[in-house]
Amino acid sequence: MVDAIGHTPLVGLRLGEFTGVEVFAKLELQNLYGMKDRVARQVVLHARKVGQLAEGAPIVESSSGTMALGLALVGPPLGHDVHIVTDPRIDPITLAKLKTLGASVHIVDRMGEGGWQRARLDRLEQLMADLPGAFWPRQYSNPQNPQAYQTLADELLEDCGPFDILVGSVGSGGSLCGAARALRRTLPGLRVVAVDCAGSVLFGQPDDPTRLQSGLGNSLMPSNLDHSQIDEIHWLNDREAFEATRRLVREQLLFGGNTSGSVYQVLRHLSERERAGTRIVGILPDRGDRYYDSVYSDDYWAARGLDELPVNERPVTVAESDTVVAWSRRELSGRK
């Protein structure tokens, strides 16, 4: 099962027919439990190799999604109990999978001054004190997180060959920055476009802990996010991301989560504006099953007033000091 991680399909999307742009999707959502399976494998195997994780020692991590599932997949067959710290926003499908896989799930009951992330980290520190010898993967700062995506870069080059633009979502920063860094050894002119959510601090926006998107965005700044690897950033609000996720199913037959939908929104935009012959790859990280009662639920939309949020039909270019409320974009200066 550990060896089965990765090797995900690359598919051509029905986009760019009228502009001569080729668009491909890397279906990381086809990993056994999700995109972070790659990180879990890399982090755990490396920690065992260098002595950070002793035989039989427990693993403790803060996660509400695919990193938690990846660790629950990789840890037990290698002899490690897995403890996951999360918050009440965890979806019931992920919670059911974690418990059935045998992970111990610790749910904090209220957010701290730094939002839910801070509350989870406080609980994690307590667990580390209670479990001598426990290993904390530290997905947001562990350099093995971006290193895990060397395999993703290798697969893209093997399946696709040279391409011009890479589009991916950003949460911990590991997947997009790690893949970009590896790809640029072969494709030095690669343009990298990041996708974030309104209300996330990753690119200088004020934090909004009430945002509904899962799997991207953050209330804290992870050290694995390397702005110098990113050329352009797009933000979507919750309504725009959820609508794009439903559109992904209708137009491409891919039942994804809101992170995949957000990436798809940007892929559609780029397919209409880039010059003929441009080749674009988007990374689709998450399946849609755990969003059945949110993204795909009309009752959820109505209860949270999503239809009242503003919508931009195309991204508005904003300055660094502007606060984003709907689909916006900004070019970053790190690689200029």
How does pLDDT run across 206-260, given as a tens digit for each residue? 999 899 998 899 888 999 999 999 999 999 999 999 999 999 999 999 999 999 9
Predicted local confidence at residue 140, as pLDDT: 86
**Is the pLDDT confidence value at 335 over 60?**
no
> The whole model's pTM is what?
0.92
Which phi and psi angles does 212 have, rounded to 5°?
-105, -15
**For range 30-59, the mean pLDDT:** 96
The chain-wide mean pLDDT, for the chain, equals 94
Percent pLDDT > 70 in the chain is 99
**Is the pLDDT confidence value at 129 over 90?**
yes
**Is the pLDDT confidence value at 334 over 60?**
no
**For range 314-334, the mean pLDDT:** 94
**For range 150-160, the mean pLDDT:** 97
Predicted local confidence at residue 11, as pLDDT: 98
**Is the pLDDT confidence value at 143 over 80?**
yes
Predicted local confidence at residue 80, as pLDDT: 98
Predicted local confidence at residue 65, as pLDDT: 84
Predicted local confidence at residue 89, as pLDDT: 85
**Is the pLDDT confidence value at 336 over 50?**
no
Are the C-beta atoms of residues 13 and 284 closer than 8 Å to each other? no
In this prediction, residue 64 has a pLDDT band, given cuts at 50, 70 and 90, of confident
Instruction: Specify the range with the lowest mean pLDDT, choosing from 72-81, 117-126, 226-235.
Output: 117-126
